[in-house]
Structures are given as C-alpha cells and as structure tokens.
Amino acid sequence: MTSAPMPEDASTSALPPLPMAGASPGEIRAALYPQYRDEFDRAYRAALDGAGRSMDLSGVLAVLESWRLRSWVTRDPAQHRHVIRRAAELLTGVMPPEDEPVEVTESRF
C-alpha cells in the first residue's frame, strides 16, 4: 500500500493511512471521510467518461491527485474547517457564520 501512517484519534481511527502519490482510486476513496465519497465517485466516473471519449487519461489523473490531496486536507476536521473559513474570508472579505457547515462554506468557491 502507498500510504503514510498518521497518529490515531477518535476522528481518524476508522480511516486507513493517508494515500501517498500514486495511490489507487480505491485507496484514495477509502481514505476519505464517508461524506466525501459520493462526490469522489461522481468526479472519478465523470473523468473516466471523459477519458473514454478523448482517449486521454490526464483528466483522470488530475481528479485522483486532487482527491488524494483532499484526503490529507480533510483528515483533521477542525483544521479543515478553520482553513475553509479563512479562505472564504480572504475571498469575500467576510468571515462565514460560526455555525455554518463547512460544506456550505466550501460551496462558495
């Protein structure tokens, strides 16, 4: 497996190690929290469909790398929330409401 070990705590103990470069689609998907897996599936299938039409795998590889990195970024939910809230503030000039779900904040950009 091409993964890096992570310290386990209550929020990450159910997830496998984080995927390293060159990880398989299954390894990347498994490393995501369940709430991100449907979105991963849609993006991956769309990229595969596009590759079937264009005969070019670069879109598939870009999707996999994007989601591999996302598995790292989202592994610590509190830090992920902080980063997303700060990015929204930098982009809009306004900090999102404290009780706004991170998925709503992310959808703004």
33 in Cβ contact with 15 (< 8 Å): yes
Is a pLDDT exceeding 50 seen at residue 2?
no
Structural domain total, the chain: 2
Name the residue type at position 57: L
pTM score: 0.74
pLDDT at 106 (0 to 100): 87
Residue range 33-80, pLDDT digits in tens = 999 999 999 999 999 999 999 999 999 999 999 999 999 999 999 999
Q: Are residues 64 and 84 in the same domain?
A: no
Q: Are residues 53 and 87 in the same domain?
A: no
User: Which range marks the domain in which residue 100 is found?
Assistant: 76-109
Computed over every residue of the chain, the mean pLDDT equals 88
Q: Are residues 66 and 81 in the same domain?
A: no
pLDDT at 8 (0 to 100): 42
pLDDT at 13 (0 to 100): 63
CA distances from 81 to 28, 53, 60, 77, 97 (A): 21, 37, 27, 6, 12
